[in-house]
Structure 1
């Protein structure tokens, strides 16, 4: 019977190991699926919707084959479609029944689009020559866009590969269980051989003894013991051990696999939450591009290059700086636009244009320099984000609490009544304080004690300069809101971060006949006049960042940062 047990264990081991190995080899499922679409249309763009990309629950490897430049990017589906606009494009679909990709031509008036790569709209983009391969794992609302150079037709062949779950959760338990049965079978075989040897005893020949007298038959009463029972119990024990082992190992192996699948599932966007203008990684790429472009423009004093990344007061400052440096390299330099560590990201909550983003960037090369607050605006889907304001923050400035980057902030209307001062009135109110000081009706609105700009250009300083002018000339000051946009973004307490532009002019003119006004430094370079009998007006621009508290809590408006520079100088008519 012991040999029977060993044979049963060996057979069970063979079957278990065989099935386990077969699941990993001949019965193994495919580990990926690849579907391909081809198109011969003249459309300059191809779009793969998120529904197609997520046809299988795994990451997507996209292969694009074309003839010449190949570019691809991915972004929010609404942004992709806004960028395409009126252009004709190919839409990639999927025929699930026949397991193939389809390509459908969508009508449009335009057969050309701008270059795809490098747009600030994308979460990421790629470029290559003739063939391009990249891996993504997009959520529900993200699509892929593919193009050539924007003029030639989009690449003709697109393939998508999804890895499939080729795991065999029962293979390992079966192999381990079979191995255990094999070991038990060997032990059972040794046990059977040892028992057989002991039961046969020694084989020495004994001498014959005289036959004893025959006695009456006596049959002692004995209890019936079935040796097979113990054998059957042994069989059951040997079988139960590997079976329990296999079940336990299977549970241990299946549980981690399930946990892993849950941990890598793609996040789903909250359908009720408004989208934000940019993501954090997207903004870091934009800031790096802006910093690199402006550094090149500053070195070459190239205003046209600067205009590709600057607008409004920020561009006005740069143009004046380049003109001054062109006349005297020692004058007119401006702080660089940093492209280092992005310390704060506050995008506007919006899915339309224009879009606004507020960020604070620290200079990596010189951490002693105060961080710079940037206000970037994107006018439309195909435009680049441009810096509208670049404002040096005050020392030890405390930015009020704002929403996280994934939530963003609402851009408030200029006439918002939720703050102690409407954003549209802020530039004029602060300009009046600069001109009149305590006599200004707006003086009590501002936190004067923390303001470091007022001592430099306020009414007291203006009076000092007037007193220093010779009696043969007069000095007059005037200020007004500048041409820059008023940008207000909500804070968590219903207050607002507000960026405004103020200009202040200084007019010096002779007060007596025959007298003349001498110019110097940057005013001399911009005006082109060394001396004039008519007079000179020098205009300075100010980029200002304020925190305006909510009406519900009250408080004073706080100046968080400022940048000022000479922007023009002209002779009086």
Structure 2
């Protein structure tokens, strides 16, 4: 009976160990499931909704191989918006056929001139959350894999393309990596090892019981006495052998040598089951609650993530740095537009002609500051307000020499707009924030904000009228009726520009006996103002005021001279009957709600000579 129990325990041990090992080998199933992609149409783009990936369990991957292959992930609304003007393939997963099917989708709309938009390269778009492309664009043999996040299942999609002109790479597949955790392998291996030990002990007890019956009854004490007696008898018989023969190994040492390999096997199997993937997870799982959607209070999404904002800031800084170093305005166009581009273009033109020109725009860095506003919207255009640190030429030259001195370069406010899905965010205004000010309280960037209408009446002034009102103050001085709407206690711009500057120049001219007439005209610029709600009352309004500084000879013999920066911008030289210099003031205001009975505050301004002419 003892032998039956020992053999049964060893048989159970073998079965359990076989099952435990099988969990990790032949019973584990495939490491991944792969579906080929069949794209029948010769389109340059293919898209697959994240919901399709959820049809197959496992971690989804997109595998592409081919020259100039490109894969990106983005919000479904953004991927669809980007693809809308182009014919493309829409992919879907067929579980029954175990492959990915393709449906052709025609371009949704045509351009105003009746022509379809030409295909473009999707690389570098601000819409993508993550993107990868084949680095070796010659051989077409390199394989690139993009791991699709689990969060992609709901509101994100994948775009597969080449360079837009070439068709989608033919070697594309979707691969789902399977979960290889085997929570019962550990218990099975441990139980198998335990039964092996029990079976071995039962077998030794059975053998010991039989051996005890063969020897003398006296002195049968201690564990396994029968086995030890058997070894003693063997030793006595071995004692008759000639002395030249080596003595037999001690019985207990032989026993240990026999048991060490068995115990080693058990220990090895036990240690192999120490991995967490071998054992069940009994920790409490977090409960998932579906978000409640209220159609009456649902807000549009925030269209950019922190990662996208970092990438945009980095590229704006890189493009601006390249333009500043080369004084080439063309280098700015991938990321600049509007008044920001006009300001730097004029500055570059002057500095090319006058290398020691004193006005040098602060270098835009990629260091984002903690104040941003992002328009919540699922359509286009999209607007974003971002603050970044800047660096002056002096700051760059003194880096590492005396870091205790605080740099004089201002913080910068950037107004960026993405007009269409196929375009990137372009910087339309760069405004230097005034030192010592406190930015108004605003909602976090991840909560988003609203782009306000320029005729909104609930603010102290409608956003579209703020620039015009300040232009009147600039032209007519602090006694202008519009001055009552502004907090001018710390406004130094009015002391250096506008009417104050014209009056000072007139006094100096009169003191010299000259007959020239100095005057100023100001107006709001042609670029539309941008108003963003702070979310907690009031709005930030970015606008541009164009100041025309006029010098008229008034028919006298004293005439204004065109030279220096004026000549560089206009080509005019020497005496002119009339000389008009255009200065652009890119301005940022905080406009409070009308109910607060507070005045409008000037938060920042960037002033630059942008043009000159000899006529009114």
Aligned equivalent of 2:148, options 118, 122, 136: 136
Q: CA RMSD in A?
A: 3.1
In the alignment, is residue 340 of structure 1 matched against residue 367 of structure 2?
yes
Which residue pairs with 2:546 in the alignment?
503
Which residue pairs with 1:158 in the alignment?
172
SS at match of 1:41: coil
Tell whether the 8 Å contact from 1:493 to 1:550 is kept in structure 2 after alignment. no
Q: 1:92 deviation in Å?
A: 1.3
C-alpha separation between the residues in 2 aligned to 1:160 and 1:538? 62
Q: 1:188 deviation in Å?
A: 4.3
SS at match of 1:442: helix
Structure 2 unaligned spans of 5+? 111-115, 219-274, 400-405
In the alignment, is residue 474 of structure 1 matched against residue 473 of structure 2?
no
In the alignment, is residue 279 of structure 1 matched against residue 311 of structure 2?
no
Aligned equivalent of 2:578, options 535, 559, 563: 535
Q: 1:343 deviation in Å?
A: 3.7
Q: 1:266 deviation in Å?
A: 13
C-alpha separation between the residues in 1 aligned to 2:602 and 2:334? 29
In the alignment, is residue 309 of structure 1 matched against residue 308 of structure 2?
no
Which residue pairs with 2:356 in the alignment?
330
Tell whether the 8 Å contact from 1:44 to 1:152 is kept in structure 2 after alignment. yes
Tell whether the 8 Å contact from 2:182 to 2:279 is kept in structure 1 after alignment. no
C-alpha separation between the residues in 2 aligned to 1:453 and 1:536? 22
Tell whether the 8 Å contact from 1:314 to 1:390 is kept in structure 2 after alignment. yes
In the alignment, is residue 319 of structure 1 matched against residue 345 of structure 2?
yes
In the alignment, is residue 487 of structure 1 matched against residue 530 of structure 2?
yes
Alpha-carbon spacing, 1:177–1:562, altered in 2? closer, same or farther (3 Å): same
Q: 1:47 deviation in Å?
A: 1.2
C-alpha separation between the residues in 1 aligned to 2:384 and 2:3? 81
SS at match of 1:439: coil
Task: Within 5 Å, give how 1:352-431 maps onto structure 2.
Answer: 352-363=379-390, 368=407, 369-431=409-471
In the alignment, is residue 115 of structure 1 matched against residue 142 of structure 2?
no
C-alpha separation between the residues in 1 aligned to 2:436 and 2:215? 99
Tell whether the 8 Å contact from 1:284 to 1:342 is kept in structure 2 after alignment. no
Which residue pairs with 1:351 in the alignment?
378
C-alpha separation between the residues in 2 aligned to 1:184 and 1:370? 79
Q: 1:201 deviation in Å?
A: 7.8
Q: Deviations over 1:196-234 (max 9, x none)?
A: 777888347xxxxxxxxxxxxxxxxxxxxxxxxxxxxxx
Which residue pairs with 2:101 in the alignment?
102
SS at match of 1:126: strand
Which residue pairs with 2:163 in the alignment?
149
Which residue pairs with 2:607 in the alignment?
564
C-alpha separation between the residues in 2 aligned to 1:546 and 1:269? 38
Which residue pairs with 1:48 in the alignment?
48
Q: Deviations over 1:374-427 (max 9, x none)?
A: 111111111221111111111243322333333211100001122222111111
C-alpha separation between the residues in 2 aligned to 1:127 and 1:497? 39
SS at match of 1:338: strand
Tell whether the 8 Å contact from 2:498 to 2:547 is kept in structure 1 after alignment. no
Q: Deviations over 1:28-58 (max 9, x none)?
A: 1222111111334221211122122333354
C-alpha separation between the residues in 2 aligned to 1:514 and 1:437? 30
C-alpha separation between the residues in 1 aligned to 2:584 and 2:506? 20
Which residue pairs with 2:60 in the alignment?
60
In the alignment, is residue 173 of structure 1 matched against residue 187 of structure 2?
yes
C-alpha separation between the residues in 1 aligned to 2:292 and 2:430? 32
Tell whether the 8 Å contact from 1:88 to 1:111 is kept in structure 2 after alignment. no
Alpha-carbon spacing, 1:97–1:492, altered in 2? closer, same or farther (3 Å): same
Alpha-carbon spacing, 1:457–1:111, altered in 2? closer, same or farther (3 Å): closer
In the alignment, is residue 13 of structure 1 matched against residue 37 of structure 2?
no
Tell whether the 8 Å contact from 1:72 to 1:117 is kept in structure 2 after alignment. no
Tell whether the 8 Å contact from 1:37 to 1:102 is kept in structure 2 after alignment. yes
Which residue pairs with 1:245 in the alignment?
none
Tell whether the 8 Å contact from 1:337 to 1:390 is kept in structure 2 after alignment. no
Equivalent residue pairs, number: 526
Q: Deviations over 1:457-489 (max 9, x none)?
A: 365454333312243211101111011221011
Q: Which sits farther off after the overlay, 447-456 or 29-38?
A: 447-456
Alpha-carbon spacing, 1:126–1:275, altered in 2? closer, same or farther (3 Å): same
In the alignment, is residue 81 of structure 1 matched against residue 80 of structure 2?
yes
Alpha-carbon spacing, 1:105–1:512, altered in 2? closer, same or farther (3 Å): closer
Q: Deviations over 1:320-349 (max 9, x none)?
A: 112212321222532233333354442211
C-alpha separation between the residues in 2 aligned to 1:200 and 1:488? 105
Tell whether the 8 Å contact from 2:434 to 2:605 is kept in structure 1 after alignment. yes
Alpha-carbon spacing, 1:185–1:546, altered in 2? closer, same or farther (3 Å): same
Tell whether the 8 Å contact from 2:431 to 2:605 is kept in structure 1 after alignment. yes
Q: Which sits farther off after the overlay, 353-362 or 528-537?
A: 528-537
C-alpha separation between the residues in 1 aligned to 2:425 and 2:432? 20
SS at match of 1:360: strand
Alpha-carbon spacing, 1:539–1:409, altered in 2? closer, same or farther (3 Å): same
Q: Which sits farther off after the overlay, 363-372 or 29-38?
A: 363-372
Q: Deviations over 1:419-469 (max 9, x none)?
A: 222111111222223234441223232222343433333654543333122
Q: 1:567 deviation in Å?
A: 0.7
Aligned equivalent of 2:558, options 515, 529, 554: 515
In the alignment, is residue 254 of structure 1 matched against residue 280 of structure 2?
yes
Tell whether the 8 Å contact from 1:312 to 1:485 is kept in structure 2 after alignment. no
C-alpha separation between the residues in 2 aligned to 1:61 and 1:382? 26
C-alpha separation between the residues in 2 aligned to 1:525 and 1:312? 21
C-alpha separation between the residues in 2 aligned to 1:31 and 1:533? 82
SS at match of 1:255: coil
Q: 1:516 deviation in Å?
A: 2.0
SS at match of 2:518: strand
Alpha-carbon spacing, 1:514–1:451, altered in 2? closer, same or farther (3 Å): closer
Alpha-carbon spacing, 1:431–1:148, altered in 2? closer, same or farther (3 Å): same
C-alpha separation between the residues in 1 aligned to 2:100 and 2:284? 30
C-alpha separation between the residues in 2 aligned to 1:163 and 1:377? 40
Q: 1:310 deviation in Å?
A: 1.5
Q: 1:552 deviation in Å?
A: 3.2
Tell whether the 8 Å contact from 2:475 to 2:499 is kept in structure 1 after alignment. yes
Which residue pairs with 1:457 in the alignment?
497
